[in-house]
């Protein structure tokens, strides 16, 4: 029974996320167009709404090109690693409290792991393998440079990412994501207690997902696409998919850690019937996540890319000290309050 429920949850979540990704691509193209005084895709279907299908069809039909002397196996494996890691991070994110079906209480998250935060950190750092391996296996200088940059970038930003989360963990005293949400639901959102931690976290999250201004691993003007220069067709599509999936994951994570997840302040869910409450919670969660996805795109079309040395400077000389300061400050305040 539990296995079946889990399976259904997995299928629903994965389908919803992949469908959303298709439309996020369209949204991104629209947002970028509007920010540049253009209109963007509007030919396929009403207002261009069927554009994603055309895109996917194109990707599927395209020829898969493997460069000469490339390591064929790893070349094929790398995008799979990327997408697997990106999707599996979704498993521990709570998108609602629980629903009741036939007297059964079903949690609205796929796996209620008691070390959810650690699990996500582990998964997101595995993501670098996909990129680095693809760079190495392509047998091309641009890809290799992209892959190397990506690993250096991940190392420098993973530290601040982890450290900035610790502030939240100290306040809520748990690693379980749904408990973090319930803790915020009864009080103030963590953003109020952790503004600096939040800034560090969101910056590091941008770097983790390789989005502008930190998209040095792909850096089109210098590296011709970076790690996925030598990819085409659906293998390239998988990289694309994993970029957008990890964007969803990190937006959801930001919402969960700092903006109360599915909870709203001053709303008492216990007064409602659990299923109605669950629908409300899911909507709240989706709206909040959507806002952060939009911010991702907004930033991408606002800021220029960092230079490599600037990236390292920001990572080691600004973000890391800030994260540590935040940690020490939080600890001191918590001690004083006690």
Partner 1 sequence: MSNNGNGKIKPEMTFWERLYFPEILHGMSITMKALFRPKFTRQYPEERWVPPPVFRGRPVLVVEDETGVERCVACGLCARVCPSLAIQVQAAETELDKERYPVLFEINMLRCIFCGFCEEVCPEEAIIMSKEFELTFADPKDAVFGKDRLLTPRSKLEDRLEFLKQYR
Tell me which residues touch partner 1 (CB under 8 A): 31, 34-39, 199, 298-299, 301-303
Residue 313, Cβ density class (10 Å: 0-12 exposed, 13-18 middle, ≥19 buried)? middle
CB closer to partner 1 out of 175 and 299: 299
CB closer to partner 1 out of 202 and 277: 202
CB closer to partner 1 out of 132 and 160: 160
> Shortest Cβ distance from residue 124 to partner 1 (Å)?
23
C-beta separation of 216 from 305 below 8 A: yes
The span from the CA of 196 to the CA of 161, in Å, is 12
The span from the CA of 23 to the CA of 27, in Å, is 6
> Shortest Cβ distance from residue 38 to partner 1 (Å)?
5
> Shortest Cβ distance from residue 54 to partner 1 (Å)?
18
C-beta separation of 231 from 83 below 8 A: no
CB closer to partner 1 out of 50 and 98: 50
Residues in a beta bridge with 99: 106
C-beta separation of 252 from 289 below 8 A: yes
CB closer to partner 1 out of 34 and 105: 34
The span from the CA of 120 to the CA of 103, in Å, is 31
CB closer to partner 1 out of 227 and 306: 306
Residues in a beta bridge with 100: 105
> Shortest Cβ distance from residue 318 to partner 1 (Å)?
9
Between CA 124 and CA 120, with CA 189 as vertex, the angle to 5 degrees is 10
Both tokens of 65, joined, read 């090109």
CB closer to partner 1 out of 43 and 338: 43
> Shortest Cβ distance from residue 42 to partner 1 (Å)?
8
Q: Single out the residue of 165, 253, 167, 175 nearest to residue 209, CA to CA.
A: 253
Length of the chain: 338
* DSSP 8-state code for residue 209: T
> Shortest Cβ distance from residue 196 to partner 1 (Å)?
11
> Shortest Cβ distance from residue 310 to partner 1 (Å)?
11
Both tokens of 255, joined, read 């919402």
> Shortest Cβ distance from residue 214 to partner 1 (Å)?
13
The 3-state DSSP class for residue 104 equals strand
The span from the CA of 193 to the CA of 213, in Å, is 27
CB closer to partner 1 out of 38 and 141: 38
């Amino acid at each position: 029974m539990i296995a079946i429920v889990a399976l259904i949850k997995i299928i629903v979540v994965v389908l919803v996320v992949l469908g959303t990704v298709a439309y996020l691509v369209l949204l991104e193209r629209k947002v970028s167009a509007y920010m540049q005084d253009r209109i963007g895709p509007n030919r396929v279907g009403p207002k261009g709404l069927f554009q994603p299908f055309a895109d996917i069809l194109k990707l599927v039909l395209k020829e898969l090109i493997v460069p000469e002397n490339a390591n064929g196996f790893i070349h094929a494996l790398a995008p799979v690693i990327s997408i697997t890691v990106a999707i599996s991070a979704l498993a521990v994110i709570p998108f609602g409290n629980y629903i009741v079906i036939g007297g059964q209480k079903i949690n609205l998250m796929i796996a209620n792991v008691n070390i959810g935060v650690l699990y996500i950190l582990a998964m997101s750092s595995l993501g670098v393998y996909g990129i680095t391996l693809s760079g190495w296996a392509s047998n091309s200088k641009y890809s290799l440079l992209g892959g190397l940059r990506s690993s250096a970038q991940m190392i420098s930003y993973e530290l601040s990412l982890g450290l900035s989360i610790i502030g939240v963990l100290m306040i809520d005293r748990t690693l379980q994501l749904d408990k973090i949400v319930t803790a915020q639901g009864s009080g103030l959102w963590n953003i109020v207690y952790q503004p600096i931690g939040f800034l560090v976290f969101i910056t590091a999250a941008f770097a983790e997902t390789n989005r502008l201004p930190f998209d040095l691993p792909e850096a089109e003007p210098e590296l011709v696409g970076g790690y996925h220069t030598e990819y085409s067709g659906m293998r390239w599509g998988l990289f694309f998919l994993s970029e957008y999936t990890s964007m969803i994951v990190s937006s959801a994570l930001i919402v969960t850690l700092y903006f109360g997840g599915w909870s709203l302040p001053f709303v008492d869910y216990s007064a409602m019937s659990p299923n109605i409450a669950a629908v409300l919670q899911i909507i709240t969660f989706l709206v909040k996540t959507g806002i952060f996805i939009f911010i991702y795109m907004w930033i991408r079309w606002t800021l220029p890319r960092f230079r490599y040395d600037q990236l390292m400077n920001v990572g080691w000389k600004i973000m890391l000290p800030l994260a540590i300061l935040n940690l020490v400050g939080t600890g001191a305040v918590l001690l004083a309050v006690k």
